[in-house]
Amino acid sequence: MICVTIACGSHSRMTAEHERLAEEGVKLVELRLDFLRREPDLNRLIPVRPTATVITARRQQDGGLWRDTEEKRLTLLRSAIASQPEFVDLELDIADQIPPFGKTRRIISYHNTETMPVNLEGLHREMSAKKPYFIKIAVTPQSFEEMYQFLNFVRQKNEEAKKLGEKGVRVIGICMGEMGKAARILSKKFTMPYTYATFSEDRIIAPGMMVYKELLDLYDYENIDQETVVFGIIGNPIGHSLSPLVHNRAFLEQNVNAVYVPFQIADTDVADFIRLAPEFGLHGISVTIPHKVDVISHLTKADPAVEKIGACNTVVFRRDERVGYNTDYIAAITGIEVACGGNIVDEESVLKNKKALVLGSGGAGKALAYGLVQRGAMVTVTDVDPERAVELAKHLGSEYVLWDMRESMHVDILVNCTPLGMYPNVNETPYSKSSLRTSMLVFDAIYNPEHTLLIKSAQDKGCKVVTGVEMFVGQACYQFKLFTGQKASASKMRILLKEAIVRMNRG
């Protein structure tokens, strides 16, 4: 279940949002009285409530907005219990001052907006002694390992509670911060009774809180269960990624009981994440910036392409193995070959002996340059950092050219793997329109926007083009096959991705 938090400044707005959520099928709502600009009027909020309700008035020290005295807050909470909503949320330190009353159930809560308590066992014991209906512990993990330990602790306590039957007290565990989004999505996997979400993107009142529609529509939250297989993506930052959209929709269409979750992982956390991922329940991950290189040293096995490119964008966990792949280069090269009139079953690639210039020598540049070399193209690489270009050229046995000389070359294939032209800097381009030739094929790894200034210029010149959308969709399809053994629909992924890019740029 999802408890949707309503945090509005007026009673009328709070009531209107509550009614709207009830119409949309929401079963449980939290009313945050500390957000009201006027003194809370319980008679306007509780007697005619359209759903089960949690009443909360959070102090500023616990991440709330309560501006009045503590005495008035305690009086308000006592009055709330007397009004008999389904739940009232009480912090651990005030629980003894507001005893149970009537049918209202008490949620005893603890909030730590800075770190994670050292003694979780002692905290749980103290909270259990207050005779709660639910225990709610909200913490701020500083690492993936801390989050992993916390969620395992919550699962252990909930399994113990289940064995006790009606005497057991279940725990709602919340991880705050961007890292905590994964914990909210997977709360049912860790046997929590419900998780919290906000009703609007404009009302995200805690770090890492998600919009309930996102949980329902993107992650199919209500259908996650103990058997759901978990996949994910790691990066830093990760909020911009559209991979959860295409993978989760593919799971749904293929009737695969799986969910694909974003994990924001710091550079210092990569080793622990890869080590703990199988224990966490992960079966495979996508890897994006800046971790494509760092993960390699933590693999037990790697596809030859990973070793040659020096970048990994996919890891599959099999028993005790952590196997790395690079699906970026396969997707991009396949797209380029098809655009050049080739066929992937041909023994000899249409790219053989073609002159190709690769702009950029980062992860994508390495992948594209490697793929082109593998197909027999004559590759030259360039980068604003000449040392990186030289290093990549030597590694692949290709040529390099200084960045300022890139437009003096006559090439058949131009590949952009720089961020120049990426949203929101859509008026930038890594290659001038005047230097493009009609006979060129132009590939741009950027997918937002799909039609970068470089792609538009190439189309104006009559060049063949391959956009970053094709690379994104292709690599996602290859990943899906590695993850599930099944084939995803590239056409449906393509439509989803394009629609999502339009929505992002409008918003």
Catalytic residue among 136, 308, 354, 366: 136
Distances (CA, A) of 445 to 241, 259, 386, 418: 15, 27, 21, 8
What tokens appear for 444 in the block? 């741009």
Q: Is 136 a catalytic residue?
A: yes
Count other C-beta atoms under 10 Å from residue 432's C-beta: 11
Catalytic residue among 157, 292, 308, 366: 292
* Residue among 199, 187, 66 at smallest CA distance from 137: 187
Active site residue 111: yes
- In DSSP notation, 371-414 reads HHHHTT-EEEEE-SSHHHHHHHHHHHT-EE--GGGGGGS--SEE
- Active-site entry in 89, 328, 383, 444: 328
Distance of alpha carbon 185 from alpha carbon 221, whole angstroms: 7
Is there a contact between 358 and 415 (Cβ–Cβ < 8 Å)?
Answer: yes
Question: Choosing from 11, 18, 34, 111, which is the catalytic residue?
Answer: 111
Three-state SS at 494: helix
Cis peptide before 237 (omega within 30 of 0): yes
Q: Record the tokens describing residue 76, joined without a space.
A: 């308000």
CA distance 58 to 91: 8
Nearest to 497 by CA among 244, 260, 220, 235: 244
3-class SS at 273?
helix
Catalytic residue positions, numbered: 111, 136, 292, 328
